[in-house]
Structure 1
Amino acid sequence: MNSVAALLAACAASALATGAAAADAEVDELVVRGARLDETLPQDLARYGSDLAVITPTVLRDNVYVDVSQALQMQTPGVFVSPRNGPFSYVDISVQGARTGDVLWLVDGVRINNRLYTSTSPADTLPASMVERIEVLKGGQSLFYGTQAVAGAINVVTRPYADELGGTFTLGGHTNQGVHADLLVRGPAGPARFVAWVSKDEAEGYRTFDVFQPSATARKRGYDVVSFGGKLGLDLSEDLALNLYYQHTDAHLDYPGPRLTRLSFNDRDEEIGSLSLDWTASDQLQLSVKGYYHDWDSVYSTVNNVPSNIAGPGVIIDDLTFWGYEDYGVSVLARLNLHRGFEYQLGYDYQNFNGRDDVLLIAQQTEKVHALVAQVRTNDDLIRNAHFAAGVRYNKTDESEKAIWNLSGRWDVTPDVYVEGMLGTSFILPSAEQLFGIDPCCAAGNPDLKPEESLNGNVSVGGQTDRFTWQVTGFARKIDNLIAEGAARPGFPEGLYVNTPGEVKSRGFEVQATARLTQALSATGSFAHTRTRAEGAGRQFDRIPESQAKAALVYEPADRPFGASATVLWTGDVYQQVTAFGRQNYGDYAVVDLAAHVYIDGDRRKHRLTARLENALDEDYATRVNSALVDLSTQRFLYRFRGVPRTLHMSYAYSF
């Protein structure tokens, strides 16, 4: 509690939106109006046929989620998210049958993926308290977002500006011996506006695995995450705006194992920053220039027990071994309205990425990317009830050149029914691990790998009335040169990364709906089915579920100072190939969350209590499976990464 007290001392110095139609309605109320083109890009893409889902501020606050991954796991229709070790851990994610590395993550439009690996997401240092909303674009988004957005993009939007001085202080915790505190202050500052926040999350955690060998003495997976940041917006003139953003995160994250482990952790130091200038030169020209910087420094330490002498000294495997990366660049985006009927988007991206990993033995690597983007869009002057767009992106790196294209559109057939879709190509470059990794633990890198190339298509039909919205989506993706671990061969006992021969096809459908049952009661539901298989193979790709469903019932009376909700997640079969145990199914589970909140000062709504019972039925489910050697043996045992058990979250928030 000393760290919480220190934080307190320092502090003293929405419903689920689903489908493009619903997303448009929600976002019109959420977006802070301004001249920033990159800020409104996801909503612009939704108006031209992209499938956009939004987790709103109301949903985030009403469920007191610890981190971004928890919110995505329970709330985003059609998106599979499996946090490996609970909050602030790596996650497996699948959007429309794709793999974890096929999704691009951004914070306020700044990319936070790394190019060292494609097997893990970068979401393990994003507390939910600093988030205003989460925007999920489904389907290929490479036109504006480039490589790693081949199956979708997730944009985490931080808390917005306010015209009046105010803020919120929150204090809470959960039954896995966790505590949380955060402070948000925002308002005017002379001619500018500002937002500032600080948060701390700390927990001892829960027992991560279902099976432990006697030599594993560190059995709980804890975390200690401190994050602070802010934004400053200044109107330099009536037509020119400046925006600065900065966020710093320090994190100590435990990564215990089921055998031998006495101590294992990652210490993280992360900085994200951006500076943008937005100029509205005239009704015909709008220009945005943005520079960004992302630095991730991490040290990894592991101390193993000696099985025959647990009380004796441990064996140091890694001692503050470094891995990290630096990503910086600049983007320019212009919107031109030169004549009636059409508008044009022109863009330029420059990215410079460098990083190394002394744990998996990836030497220092540097990659530079230049990209040119052009898109033409129709507007209401041409067709009032339909919007179409066509675009191309040209990418150039030190090693390769590639052009991709995209067509999209939305037609409002009637005021109540619409059709939308998107067709385009995407590509993803091999990661540094896939090219140059040499650690004997894992598959070896292959410098001769080709980039993956894919053709993506989405078609949706949907509609809305005063009380009901619905959408049915079909999607398909064809991938050439997919990169995977090949079979063992002489000199490469753990295999070699190779381009898979033949095509890999992913296809499926998604159904989602929202119904307002009464003025105070609403229900949402979604179901998704995917089929992702290599040519000639008869089984689903590992770590990608075949089916999943999500549903929520929300009670929110407008004339009462309280509310409640129930959220259900069902995940179908999920498979993983495990050494010595073959193909294991660790899916087919259901998780139920119950949440409630009350303003204890009634209609004044300054003092709020919120509770969420996570995994209320205490479902014993796995987020992943693996095997390891039995202590002092050549035999192996099977173990599961456990999902979060039943956990009660409580928080008190004071708004001022």
Structure 2
Amino acid sequence: MRLTYWIQGLAALPPLLAAGLAGAAETHLAPLAVEAPGIEETATSDLARLGWEMEVVTRAQIERAGPSADVTRVLQRYVPGLYVAPKNGPFDYGTYSLRGSRSADILILLDGVRLNNRLYGGLYIDTISTAAIERIEVVKGAQGLIFGTEAVAGVINIVTRRVTGDDPEGAITAGLASDGARHLDGRVGDRFPNALGALDLMVFGSHDQSNGYIPYRSEDIDATVSDRRRSYRVANLGFRATQHLGDTARADLFYQYAAGKLDFARPVSNHDTFNDRTQHIVTASFEHTPSQAFDYALRAHLNVWDTDYTRIYNQPGGGTTTVNDGDYWGFKDYGLKAQGRWRFAGQELLFGADSQFYRGADDVLVIGKQTGEAYGLFTQLRPHLEALPETDLSIGTRYNWTADGAEALVWSASIRQGFGPAFIRALAGTSFRLPTAEQLYANDDCCAKGNPGLDPETSREVELGGGVDFDLGRDARLTLEVTAFRREIDDMIDGSGDRFVNISEGVLSEGVELEAGLDFARGWSTGAGVTFVSTERRDTGLQLDNIPTRHGFVRIGYETPDDTRGFAPGDSWGADLYARHVGDVRARGTEYGDYVVFDASGFYAFGPNGAHRLTLTVENLFDRNYATGRTTGASGQVDQLGRPLTAELRYGYSF
């Protein structure tokens, strides 16, 4: 690492962020307990125990993330080290970077099942309903061993809600935002005893709609543009059914249907551009614990995405031209996974196999119907040393191969050593990323052509971290953690020319992440986190596009302690102020970024057990004009603007 670079980065940190770090940062959250957790449910939390850094976004945080919070908005607000830039507000594509990674280096899981598709790769999570989410787990670092392709920088595991007791439960929430956005969601669940054990059934749904905002400055919008706003309409409906089979086994079925009409805002000639989309996600699993020494899980998944893309442009002299008229693009991903865990002589061995199958096509980028298959075998030993009870170790390997002959062998090793309230951890490993169908087969004149001869990308990562967790007494607690990381990517796939190619020189990403948290007085807490990172191509020495050189946050909040009353017995309330900072970002030879944006939220819960809840959230409190990205306009590269000042009021009732 270049010491001068980090000193300059620290000096450039806004005073607000620096002050927050001097005092405290986001409290590091422990994984939440789930009733009778199985091998699949503990896959990510086990990694945190073994030395990987893990962040957990709780249900309470999800509910306070508004306005019109989608998954991207939730991740943007609560995960240190993760940079998120929604393109044009809620329910839109986003740019993601986890410790200096590209979006395609992050794997999205739904209850442990991969959602990344092989058509384009990347993260398509804009239509997942937050009403169905219990928590989100983010595990940082190379995860290719257990999860396969695309888990280069880490995984984001979205954990859906389950029935939690024997009594009926449910909730309904309605919201209205100052920009006219409307939100409605609900869920209901119950447990039904039967001859086999008990059936847990939960049904959920949501609807979001808005005319959106204008994501470009007036001077950057061409005079021919008639549709300036980026609107959306998204609906979700789904269920989870869990059949308990005695005390040792259960079968689970999850299904979500999503439908949406999602606008694209363009600064040039736009008359109407939108995706008309449907998505089906299905997961089915069986988990069994025949003895304390052995448990296993079998899982199948299906992810079907169908989009009709329409693009109509205005002509300078009047009239319109249709570039795309409901042109299809979509994919079907499905797969199987088997995983077992064997405990013997105080040791633990994890092993498994998985397969992913893909079909996809795109009439827009002219990707003909393509299929793909990928398979993997993995094992990981987690030894326990009686002489070192505070030491956790792991070492493992994975072999992955595809039907067209590509293959990858990866490994990882980790250690976490406790010293009372302090700990240190270290890990090293390799990962890989298979080419997408776009990179292999795209054939549109607008963009880089596909290259069927591409090799998979391979990467190597090392990480060293440590921290402390002090109980200061009188309900006060201080946490500090620092992590240094280095990631090298070989054979990086590049599409900046007229054809996708592997770059032999690759990419070097290195940086430092700091987190701190302080709970003080009664109900008060502060938090902050900051990441400095350099992610450069070895052949040019330039930072990769859309990856900031630094980013961070500061938060201060208050929530009434359990024994403190609100306006009436049993009432509670809370509020927080949040600021996020993004440093310089490079895109297409230009720079944007370097801003601080403030958000605020508050809630008041009243009635029996806080059944009624009012939540007020304000995004971009001071109406800052800032850029989340760059795109091509009539005058060249122009800013895509983040959401302006937007307030939302929600009312929720739960039982």
Give your verdict on TM over 0.5. Answer: yes
Any idea what the Cα deviations from partners look like across 1:249-273, whole Å, max 9, x if unmatched?
A: 1111001211111111101111111
- Alpha-carbon separation, structure 1, partners of 2:457 and 2:617: 42
The answer to whether the 8 Å contact 2:513/2:529 transfers is yes
Task: Quote the residue 2:490 is aligned against.
Answer: 480
Within 5 Å, give how 1:296-445 maps onto structure 2: 296-309=305-318, 312=319, 314-340=320-346, 342-379=347-384, 381=386, 383-398=388-403, 399-412=405-418, 414-445=419-450
Task: Quote the residue 1:643 is aligned against.
Answer: 642
Q: Secondary structure at the match of 2:593?
A: coil
Within 5 Å, give how 1:542-553 maps onto structure 2: 542-553=545-556
Task: Quote the residue 2:245 is aligned against.
Answer: 236
- Alpha-carbon separation, structure 1, partners of 2:282 and 2:131: 18
The answer to whether the 8 Å contact 1:435/1:445 transfers is yes
- Alpha-carbon separation, structure 1, partners of 2:84 and 2:424: 28
Q: Cα–Cα, structure 1 residues 321 and 382, in superposed 2: closer, same or farther, change >3 Å?
A: farther
In the TM superposition, residue 192 of structure 1 has moved relative to its aligned partner by 1.2
1:213 aligns with 2:218: no
> 2:208 aligned to 173, 198, 201, which one?
201
- Alpha-carbon separation, structure 2, partners of 1:63 and 1:438: 41
Q: Secondary structure at the match of 2:432?
A: strand
- Alpha-carbon separation, structure 2, partners of 1:384 and 1:653: 46
Q: Cα–Cα, structure 1 residues 188 and 196, in superposed 2: closer, same or farther, change >3 Å?
A: same
Any idea what the Cα deviations from partners look like across 1:80-101, whole Å, max 9, x if unmatched?
A: 0000011011110001111011
Within 5 Å, give how 1:145-160 maps onto structure 2: 145-160=147-162
- Alpha-carbon separation, structure 2, partners of 1:110 and 1:240: 19
1:562 aligns with 2:564: no
Any idea what the Cα deviations from partners look like across 1:15-48, whole Å, max 9, x if unmatched?
A: xxx999934xx31xx2312242111111000000
> 2:626 aligned to 615, 618, 621, which one?
621
In the TM superposition, residue 609 of structure 1 has moved relative to its aligned partner by 0.6
The answer to whether the 8 Å contact 1:74/1:568 transfers is no
Q: Cα–Cα, structure 1 residues 115 and 437, in superposed 2: closer, same or farther, change >3 Å?
A: same
In the TM superposition, residue 517 of structure 1 has moved relative to its aligned partner by 1.8
In the TM superposition, residue 128 of structure 1 has moved relative to its aligned partner by 2.3
Task: Quote the residue 2:5 is aligned against.
Answer: none
- Alpha-carbon separation, structure 2, partners of 1:421 and 1:378: 16
Q: Cα–Cα, structure 1 residues 117 and 622, in superposed 2: closer, same or farther, change >3 Å?
A: same
Task: Quote the residue 1:128 is aligned against.
Answer: 130
Task: Quote the residue 1:12 is aligned against.
Answer: none
Q: Structure 2 stretches of 5 or more lacking a match? A: 1-23, 472-476, 567-571
Task: Quote the residue 1:598 is aligned against.
Answer: 604
- Alpha-carbon separation, structure 1, partners of 2:141 and 2:343: 27
1:450 aligns with 2:460: no
> 1:496 aligned to 499, 507, 528, which one?
499
In the TM superposition, residue 382 of structure 1 has moved relative to its aligned partner by 6.0
Task: Quote the residue 2:12 is aligned against.
Answer: none
Task: Quote the residue 1:7 is aligned against.
Answer: none
534-543 or 466-475, which moves further after superposition?
A: 534-543
Task: Quote the residue 1:61 is aligned against.
Answer: 63
- Alpha-carbon separation, structure 2, partners of 1:536 and 1:103: 24
The answer to whether the 8 Å contact 1:19/1:53 transfers is no
Over the matched positions of the two proteins, sequence identity in percent amounts to 33
- Alpha-carbon separation, structure 2, partners of 1:58 and 1:279: 31
In the TM superposition, residue 240 of structure 1 has moved relative to its aligned partner by 1.7
Q: Cα–Cα, structure 1 residues 97 and 381, in superposed 2: closer, same or farther, change >3 Å?
A: same
- Alpha-carbon separation, structure 1, partners of 2:211 and 2:510: 41
- Alpha-carbon separation, structure 1, partners of 2:244 and 2:609: 33
The answer to whether the 8 Å contact 1:35/1:279 transfers is no
Any idea what the Cα deviations from partners look like across 1:485-505, whole Å, max 9, x if unmatched?
A: 244xxxxxxx21111131311
Code of the aligned partner of 1:196: V
Relative contact order higher in (CA < 8 Å, ≥ 6 apart)? 2
Code of the aligned partner of 2:206: S
Q: Secondary structure at the match of 1:144?
A: helix
Q: TM-score, normalised by structure 2?
A: 0.91
Code of the aligned partner of 2:462: G
Task: Quote the residue 1:32 is aligned against.
Answer: 34
Q: Cα–Cα, structure 1 residues 486 and 565, in superposed 2: closer, same or farther, change >3 Å?
A: closer
Q: Structure 1 stretches of 5 or more lacking a match? A: 1-17, 488-494, 578-582, 631-635
Code of the aligned partner of 1:612: T
In the TM superposition, residue 389 of structure 1 has moved relative to its aligned partner by 0.4
Task: Quote the residue 1:652 is aligned against.
Answer: 651
> 1:169 aligned to 168, 172, 176, which one?
172
In the TM superposition, residue 121 of structure 1 has moved relative to its aligned partner by 2.1
1:468 aligns with 2:478: yes
The answer to whether the 8 Å contact 1:209/1:640 transfers is yes
> 2:232 aligned to 212, 223, 233, which one?
223
- Alpha-carbon separation, structure 2, partners of 1:364 and 1:20: 46
> 1:251 aligned to 234, 254, 260, which one?
260
- Alpha-carbon separation, structure 1, partners of 2:425 and 2:645: 40
Q: Cα–Cα, structure 1 residues 379 and 194, in superposed 2: closer, same or farther, change >3 Å?
A: farther
Task: Quote the residue 2:139 is aligned against.
Answer: 137
The answer to whether the 8 Å contact 2:104/2:150 transfers is yes
> 2:540 aligned to 537, 542, 560, which one?
537
- Alpha-carbon separation, structure 2, partners of 1:130 and 1:620: 33
The count of corresponding residues between Structure 1 and Structure 2 is 610
The answer to whether the 8 Å contact 1:20/1:50 transfers is no
The answer to whether the 8 Å contact 2:65/2:77 transfers is no
In the TM superposition, residue 539 of structure 1 has moved relative to its aligned partner by 2.6
1:586 aligns with 2:592: yes
- Alpha-carbon separation, structure 2, partners of 1:248 and 1:108: 16
Code of the aligned partner of 1:170: T
- Alpha-carbon separation, structure 2, partners of 1:40 and 1:161: 18
Code of the aligned partner of 1:162: T
In the TM superposition, residue 380 of structure 1 has moved relative to its aligned partner by 6.2
- Alpha-carbon separation, structure 2, partners of 1:173 and 1:373: 48
The answer to whether the 8 Å contact 2:25/2:518 transfers is no
- Alpha-carbon separation, structure 2, partners of 1:192 and 1:383: 43
- Alpha-carbon separation, structure 2, partners of 1:532 and 1:285: 42
Task: Quote the residue 1:271 is aligned against.
Answer: 280
- Alpha-carbon separation, structure 1, partners of 2:363 and 2:611: 49
- Alpha-carbon separation, structure 2, partners of 1:527 and 1:145: 27
- Alpha-carbon separation, structure 2, partners of 1:383 and 1:328: 43
Code of the aligned partner of 2:228: R
Any idea what the Cα deviations from partners look like across 1:323-357, whole Å, max 9, x if unmatched?
A: 100111111110001223x1100101011111111
The answer to whether the 8 Å contact 2:282/2:301 transfers is yes
Q: Cα–Cα, structure 1 residues 521 and 125, in superposed 2: closer, same or farther, change >3 Å?
A: same
Any idea what the Cα deviations from partners look like across 1:397-451, whole Å, max 9, x if unmatched?
A: 1121221101012110x21100112210111011111111111111111122111
1:180 aligns with 2:183: yes
In the TM superposition, residue 652 of structure 1 has moved relative to its aligned partner by 0.2
- Alpha-carbon separation, structure 1, partners of 2:544 and 2:230: 28
The answer to whether the 8 Å contact 1:564/1:595 transfers is yes
Code of the aligned partner of 1:565: D
- Alpha-carbon separation, structure 1, partners of 2:25 and 2:289: 31
- Alpha-carbon separation, structure 1, partners of 2:363 and 2:222: 28
The answer to whether the 8 Å contact 1:278/1:287 transfers is yes
Any idea what the Cα deviations from partners look like across 1:567-610, whole Å, max 9, x if unmatched?
A: 11000000101xxxxx2111101111010111243x64111110
Task: Quote the residue 2:299 is aligned against.
Answer: 290
The answer to whether the 8 Å contact 2:65/2:73 transfers is no
- Alpha-carbon separation, structure 2, partners of 1:650 and 1:619: 21
The answer to whether the 8 Å contact 1:20/1:51 transfers is no
104-113 or 355-364, which moves further after superposition?
A: 104-113
Code of the aligned partner of 1:204: N
